[in-house]
Amino acid sequence: MRNDNSNPPDLKQRTRTFAIRIIRLYASLPKSTEAQVLGKQLLRAGTSVGAQYAEAQRAKSNKDLITKIEGSLQELEEVLYWIDLLTEMNLGNPETLAALNKETNELLAIFVTIVRRVKANR
């Protein structure tokens, strides 16, 4: 799929791509105990974001939607934490970690905006 500013992917595809990037990062980490422990935490949180968003698409109410989107927000905050630890410990490719950190912050901003808009429209 082409990804440029003229035709940005929808959020479902973007969170899926995010999960794939997290999986690839995990696969590239050193096989040391500390890298694997941190990586597995990152893997769990990073792949949960899209799953939570998919659940939000089937929300039965605005309250349910907000709850599920806030679940994605919690996972994204956790992703930032694990990326920060991996970066600080020099585990993983610095450019890959920086790019994932940027994408995580962008997704956080999008999800916060969704929650704010839904709350404002109640």
Give per-residue pLDDT as tens, 22-65. 999 999 999 999 999 999 999 999 999 999 999 999 999 999 99
Classify domain 11-120 at the CATH topology level: de novo design (two linked rop proteins) (1.20.1440)
- pLDDT digits 0-9 by tens, 9-18: 599 999 999 9
* DSSP characters over the chain: ----TTSPPPHHHHHHHHHHHHHHHHHHS-SSHHHHHHHHHHHHHHHHHHHHHHHHTT-SSHHHHHHHHHHHHHHHHHHHHHHHHHHHTT-S-HHHHHHHHHHHHHHHHHHHHHHHHHHHT-
Give this prediction's pTM: 0.88
